[in-house]
Amino acid sequence: MSLIYGLITGILFGIIMQRSGILSYEKQIGALRLIDMTVFKVMLSAIIVGAIGIYFFKDIGVIKLSLKGTSIGAQVIGGLIFGVGWALLGYCPGIAAGALGEGHLDALWGILGMLFGGAVYAVIYPFMKKYIISIGSFGKISLPQILGINHWIVIVVFSILMVVLFRFFEKKGL
């Protein structure tokens, strides 16, 4: 059943992303070159709605959070490395699958590269674990937790900041 849920979720995600037009190289690189913000508009508005939904259903006890551990070393260095790859390929992992579905055949080379990258990571993992992931490792922490304030305050402030950003994008025609 889990497999079917995965497939259905993926299909719906693929349809929404395709219809919003963010699967192309031009939209992805356009966002990274800061000339077309469509990708960030989709992503950040998804995060606002997601955060409201996740914390609402968490508060009423329907779901649990599943935080990823925070490691400054892993997320800063891994993040920068990921960014270099994202810009060279022009698609992030989930987008690459959708881009291929839409006919961007170069995404297939990217997917093969990702499989190769997965194999390389398995080889270098012991080194990363010892020297990189251990830098600034804080475990599973959230912003409201370290600020010591109610999560709804964080969500409201975050949403307001994002709406200001969206208005800036629209005003500048980005």
Partner 1 sequence: MKNKTLNPYVAGALIGILLVLSVIIAGKYLGASTTFARGASVIEKAVGIDYSKFDYFTTKKGKYGPGSLPNWQLMYVIGIALGAFIASKLSGTFKAKAVPTMWKNKFGSSSLKRGIVAFIGGAIGLIGARLAGGCPTGHGLSGLSQLSISGFIALAFFVIGAAITARMLYSR
Helix axes 106-131, 72-89, angle to 10 degrees: 160
Torsion of Cα atoms, 15 then 88 then 46 then 53, to 10°: 100
The least CB distance from residue 139 to partner 1, in Å, is: 10
- From the CB of 2, what's the least distance to partner 1, in Å? 5
Touching partner 1, residues 4-43 (CB under 8 A): 4-26, 29-30, 32-34, 38, 41-43
The tokens of 110 are what?
């990217």
Rounded to 5 degrees, what angle do the CA atoms 13, 113, 9 make? 15
CB nearer to partner 1: pick between 53 and 164: 53
142 binds partner 1 (CB under 8 A): yes
Query: How far apart are alpha carbons 167 and 7 in whole angstroms?
Result: 35
Structure tokens at 18: 């395709």
Does 168 contact partner 1 by CB under 8 A? no
Q: Is 132 in the site for partner 1 (CB under 8 A)?
A: yes
| Site of tokens 């990217």 | 110
Under rule CB under 8 A, residue 84 binds partner 1: yes
* Near partner 1 by CB under 8 A: residue from 59, 61, 102, 167: 102
Residues 6+ apart with CB under 8 A from 18: 98, 101, 102
Residues 6+ apart with CB under 8 A from 163: none
| Residues facing 71 on adjacent strands | 137
Cross-strand pairs, 139: 70
The verdict on 167 binding partner 1 (CB under 8 A) reads: no
Q: Residues 59, 131, 135, 141: which binds partner 1 (CB under 8 A)?
A: 141
Binding to partner 1 by residue 46, rule CB under 8 A?
yes
- Least separation in angstroms between residue 172's CB and partner 1 is 15
The count of residues interacting with partner 1 (CB under 8 A) is 124
Q: At its nearest, how many Å lie between partner 1 and the CB of residue 130?
A: 11
Q: Considering the rule CB under 8 A, would residue 138 count as an interface residue with partner 1?
A: yes
Smaller CB separation from partner 1, 115 or 172 = 115
